[in-house]
Structures are given as C-alpha cells and as structure tokens.
C-alpha cells in the first residue's frame, strides 16, 4: 500500500485502543508509529475479562454509586476501593463523578454508549470474518484479507444474582436495556442452569444479554501486533515519551528515550497515563486509574473446569467476572482507584476467590500466588464516557482514552473514529458526548 505523503501518524499507547487506531489508520494508507512505555505483553488489554458488552449502556457515574462505594470501602476484600490521598486531581475527579451521578446524565449517556458499543461489536465481527457480508453489515472488500484469530464467540453474557435486592435492580436494568434496543431476558435460577449443563450454578436468577460476546484478549493483541508489523507499522515498546515539540499550534515531534520522531498527526491513547501526556498540551483531562486483577484456572488441572462454563458471567453481588477462554477459565474483578500503582493487593484478590463458589460451587478455586495475579489500570473518566476526538490545544492531536472497564469492548469503534477524525471524514456517531475538552472549563 502506498502511504499518504507527509502523513506520519504517531500513536502514544500500545494497548487495545492504540492498536485498533493503528489498524484503521494503516488501512486508510497512513504511515503509523506506535510508542508503548511497557512491554507489549504487560498492558491493561492483556489480562482483562475479554467481554464485548453492548449490554453495558449505563455509565459508572449513576445514582446510588457513591453510597454503595462508601459501604464497600469499609471491607478489605470488597470489589471497590479509593486509596485515600491528598491529591487535587483525585478530588476534582471525585467532585465531577458526584456531579454526574444523576438520572439526567444516565439518560444522556445511554444512547452514546449503546451506539459506540454496537459499532464496536460490528467491527469485531468484521475482524473475525473479513469480507463476509451479513445482514446490515457491508463486506470490507479486501479480497486478500484474512481473519484475525482471537477466539471470537457470540455466546451472550449472564448477570448472575443471589439476592432479592439484586434481582430488583437487575430487572430495572433489563427494562432500561430493552427500551434502548438492547435485548435482555430475565431468567430463573433453573433457566440459568439450563444454559450451563457442565457446571452447577447456584443463583436466584440472572439476566441474559444474548447480543454480547467474548474473546481471548492475549490472542487479540498478538494478532493485531503481527498484522500491523507485517504491514509496515513501527511499534516501539519499552519506549517512554519524554516530551512533545510544538510549533504554531501543532505537535511536530515526539521525543522519547529512544530518539525523536517527527509526526504530522498525534494520537494520545496512553490509558491511565493519558492525563499526564495531556498536560504537555495544556489540556486538563480528568482521569483516574482503576486497578483491576485477574487470574486463570487451567482447565486440564482444575476440578470442575475441564468442560468449563459456556456463557461468560458477571457475579453481581461480588462484582467479579468469569470468562471461558479456550479450556481455561479467567476470573477478574475489583476497581481500585489508586493512581498509577500496579502493585497487587491480595486482600482484593481474596475477595474474588471467596465469592466464586457462592455461584459455581463445584469449581475448585484456590488462592493464587501473587506472581500468578495480573493487574492492570483502566482509565476512568468521571462521567463514565470515554474521551475521543480532537483537542483545541493542538489542532493535529486526537485523544482516545477514558474507557474505564470497557476498553477492550470499545476498541475497534474508537480506532475507527480516530482514523475518521484524522482523515477528516464525517464521524459515524455523534461525537459531542465524547469530547476531550468537556471538562476543560
């Protein structure tokens, strides 16, 4: 493919958002260079739950969330924790979160999150089966394009609950989803069990979102990296961005510990570190890292996992997830707002372990060793919506971050919107809800 003249794109961040942006920019004919401060195998995209969730249309900032979070903070094994510290950015983020935990904000956010999620699922389907036309989805037209192998499965998602209070809350969420055009089915405990013939499930009931899907995050990242490198995309991992050179309102150079790289356009997709990068552009980007943990159970050596569960699940009261990945089973959970600290708090991991057998009593889950626990930071905006789009502080910079726990789910749609923004195309969605400058006043 012939690269567009004088269109060198630099992407800061080699997680799923940065890699998807590189994918669509490369396909549009741009010369792309990706900078990642860590090893590519260590990013937040690698160890997450692997769920693609168009069902998640209600933002984290919602009525009642602050009160619930304060109660959770009293327990060392709870799924939510804010590390107390005197930090102006954290206090501003918390104030903005409080301001947006309203029914009015939820109502405005639902269509934005729904449309972004549905676009992303459609693009995942195209990545898994390129050139295959499906109802409502145009074939991509690349005759030599091969599918990316990342364990794509459209099995839906179960929201499992054990208490009447959770049942009530989930029935309300199911109603919201159905009214927004996202199918949700309320199931009894027996109907949940019927979907899992190989694993005993002890729940009061559940909500099935049949339109959700899941994949293997590690395989996806590997497939994207392989694809991009074969097509000439330069990926510099373990490379720290130390500065940005600006001339006449544009970023012209990315300075790194491995040298300087001229750019014509820049994408800031640095995950939880994006707010630090934004400061180099005089952009206030409220963002906090929400740390999560995951660990794997090997199917061949773990009782009750040989046949595995069939449908990914969120164990509601525990705020933990279970995802079948091949013959193995990945458990994930917690949201620790603790800056950019990646250390593992085993009390939080213990909370995940202790909750699993309340839902899957026959799956043996031992406390994992600390070195077997993966931790990663989700970049959380205070209103629960990502930042996607150009910034007024630099006319050739596009920001793509703030996806919270949905970075993997929203990756392809974000990458496509980034590519369209740089190409000057009319966006496929209303971009106002995702404006990076919405809190800069």
Q: Which fold has domain 52-109+151-214+288-378?
A: D-Amino Acid Oxidase; Chain A, domain 2 (3.30.9)
What is the per-residue pLDDT for 82?
72
What is the per-residue pLDDT for 201?
97
Angle made by CA atoms 115, 147, 332, in degrees to the nearest 5: 60
What is the per-residue pLDDT for 2?
40
* One fold for 8-47+113-147+217-286+383-434 and 52-109+151-214+288-378: no
CA atoms within 13 A on the CB side of 89: 17
Domain boundaries, the chain: 8-47+113-147+217-286+383-434, 52-109+151-214+288-378
Q: Which of 401, 404, 405 is nearest to 415 (CA)?
A: 401
What is the per-residue pLDDT for 22?
98
> Three-state secondary structure along the chain?
CCCCCCCEEEEECCCHHHHHHHHHHHHCCCEEEEECCCCHHHCCCCCCCCEECCCCCCCCCCCCHHHHHHHHCCCCCCCEEECCCCCHHHHHHHHHHHHHCCHHHHHHHHHHHHHHHHHHHHHHHHHHCCCCCECCECCCCCCCCCCCCCCCECCCEEEEECCHHHHHHHHHHHHHHHHCCCCCEEEEHHHHHHHCCCCCCCCCEEEEECCCEECCHHHHHHHHHHHHHHCCCEEECCCCEEEEEEECCEEEEEEECCEEEECCEEEECCHHHHHHHHHCCCCCCCCEEEEEEEEEECCCCCCCCCCCCCCCEEECCCCEEEEEECCEEEEEEEEEECCCCCCCCHHHHHHHHHHHCCCCCCCCCCCCCHHHCEEEEEEECCCCCCEEEEECCEEEEEEEECEHHHHHHHHHHHHHHHHHHHHCCCCCCCCHHHCCCCCCC
Q: Give the CATH H-level superfamily of domain 8-47+113-147+217-286+383-434.
A: FAD/NAD(P)-binding domain (3.50.50.60)
What is the per-residue pLDDT for 147?
87
What is the per-residue pLDDT for 239?
96
Note down pLDDT in tens along the chain; length 441 residues. 444 445 999 999 999 999 999 999 999 999 999 999 998 766 656 788 999 999 999 988 787 665 555 555 555 555 566 776 778 888 898 899 889 999 999 999 999 999 999 999 999 999 998 644 443 344 444 545 678 999 999 999 999 999 999 999 999 999 999 999 999 999 999 999 999 999 999 999 999 999 999 999 999 999 999 999 999 999 999 999 999 999 999 999 999 999 999 999 999 999 999 999 999 998 999 999 988 999 999 875 555 555 689 999 999 988 899 999 988 999 998 888 877 788 898 988 998 999 999 999 999 899 999 999 999 899 999 999 999 999 988 999 999 999 999 999 999 999 999 999 999 999 999 999 999 999 986
* Model confidence, pTM: 0.91
């Amino acid at each position: 493919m012939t690269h567009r003249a004088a269109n060198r794109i630099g992407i800061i961040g080699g997680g799923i958002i940065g890699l998807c942006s590189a994918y669509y920019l490369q396909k549009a004919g741009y010369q792309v260079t990706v900078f990642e401060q860590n090893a590519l195998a260590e990013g937040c995209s690698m160890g997450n739950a692997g769920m693609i969730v168009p069902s998640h249309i209600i933002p984290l900032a919602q009525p009642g969330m602050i009160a619930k979070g304060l109660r959770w903070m009293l327990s060392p094994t709870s799924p939510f924790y804010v590390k107390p510290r005197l930090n102006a950015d954290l206090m501003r983020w918390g104030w903005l979160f409080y301001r947006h935990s309203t029914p009015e904000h939820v109502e405005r956010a639902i269509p934005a999150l729904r449309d972004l999620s549905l676009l992303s699922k459609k693009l995942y389907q195209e990545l898994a089966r390129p050139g295959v036309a499906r109802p409502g989805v145009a074939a991509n037209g690349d005759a030599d394009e091969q599918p990316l192998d990342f364990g794509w499965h459209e099995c839906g998602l179960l929201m499992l609950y054990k208490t009447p209070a959770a049942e009530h809350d989930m029935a309300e969420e199911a109603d919201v989803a159905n009214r927004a055009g996202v199918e949700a089915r309320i199931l009894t405990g027996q109907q949940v069990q019927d979907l899992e013939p190989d694993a005993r499930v002890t729940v009061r009931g559940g909500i099935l979102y049949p339109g959700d899907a899941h994949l293997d995050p590690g395989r996806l990242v590997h497939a994207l990296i392989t694809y991009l490198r074969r097509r000439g995309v330069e990926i510099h991992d373990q490379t720290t961005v130390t500065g940005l050179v600006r001339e006449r309102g544009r970023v012209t150079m990315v300075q790194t510990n491995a040298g300087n790289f001229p750019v014509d356009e820049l994408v800031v997709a640095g995950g939880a570190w994006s707010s630090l990068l934004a400061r180099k552009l005089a952009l206030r980007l409220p963002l906090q890292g929400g740390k999560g943990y995951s660990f794997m159970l090997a199917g061949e050596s773990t009782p009750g996992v040989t046949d595995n569960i069939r449908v990914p699940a969120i164990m509601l009261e525990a705020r933990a997830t279970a995802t079948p990945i091949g013959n193995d089973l990945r458990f994930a959970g917690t949201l620790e707002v603790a800056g950019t600290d990646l250390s593992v708090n085993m009390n939080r991991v213990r909370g995940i372990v202790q909750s699993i057998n309340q839902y899957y009593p026959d799956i043996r889950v031992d406390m994992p060793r600390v070195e077997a626990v993966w931790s990663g930071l989700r970049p959380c905006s205070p209103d629960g919506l990502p930042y996607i789009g150009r910034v007024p502080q630099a006319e050739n910079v596009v920001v793509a971050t703030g996806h919270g726990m949905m970075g993997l789910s929203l990756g392809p749609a974000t990458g496509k919107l980034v590519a369209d923004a740089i190409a000057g195309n009319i966006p496929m969605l209303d971009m106002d809800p995702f404006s990076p400058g919405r809190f800069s006043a």
